[in-house]
Amino acid sequence: MSNDGVVAVERAMQVLDCFKPGAERLALADFANRLPLHKTTIFRLLNSLARTGYVVREPDGRYGLGPRVLFLARVYERGFDLSAVVLPILEKLSADTGESAAYYVEGGEPGQRLCLFRHQPHEGLHSQVLAGSVMPPDRSSTGQVFAIWAQGTQPPPERLPIFSSGARDPYTASWSVPIIGNEDRYVGALTIAGPSARLATVDAGRFEAVILAHADELARRLGASAEMRDTLYGQMV
């Protein structure tokens, strides 16, 4: 069976992708400026999308998203399982590095971070932070990610990922990167952690490339734009 797809459907999706925050209402000329398609083709696609409720045509001739998009968003929200998105990434990241991998989100108090999900190899000595642990602000790589992207208390680094050793305790080192999601908003941090002595001997460049690649994939699954993903994670992916 062919995997080629249907060109008309893909073009219709390109039309819908033109809508963005700040560009909620678009004229036909706006679509033409954004798409490598003839105006006639765009007009026909918009007519089809309007008939099926995915766009609406305003009295001034501009187009906006239709109620069918909101309906699908509600269906998506009800069926969305964050663990089903994050845990496979953590498992793969842990398998690729041999170290513990964790996903952190903001805790209940300013500056806190919650270890929401975690995966570690079955053998060897590893970081003992458990899923559900709430961590205070510190200078660890994960703490710095939250200070920059959640609290805004320090400037962003020149490059990612952020590395730290002995910041939270003298025996642990880690690499961390921010994770962005829908509307390119900061949603959490992806972290590799392990014994400082062991991580001092690994190929740091390979570890950095691996975590950036997995961060890019997680952000993509959480709805981040390709442009923002390339800005954050494209340095070594």
- Give me the pLDDT at residue 169, please: 83
- Identify the residue whose tokens are 């997995």: 214
- Give me the pLDDT at residue 236, please: 45
3-state SS class at 167: coil
Question: What residues of the chain score a pLDDT lower than 70?
Answer: 1-4, 76-77, 79-80, 122-128, 235-237
Q: Distance (Å, rounded) from C-alpha 145 to C-alpha 157?
A: 9
Cα dist. 170→55, 67, 132, 140, 191 in Å? 57, 55, 22, 11, 17
Which domains, and CATH codes, for the chain?
7-78 (1.10.10.10), 81-233 (3.30.450.40)
- Give me the pLDDT at residue 4, please: 66
57 forms bridges with which residues in the sheet?
Answer: 63
Give the number of other Cβ atoms within 10 Å of residue 62's Cβ.
15
Helices and strands in the chain: count of H runs, count of E runs:
9, 8
**Predicted structure pTM score:** 0.70
Average pLDDT over the chain, rounded to whole? 89
- Identify the residue whose tokens are 């970081």: 127
Strand order in the sheet with 134-135: 134-135, 113-119, 100-106, 186-195, 172-180, 162-165
- Give me the pLDDT at residue 237, please: 39
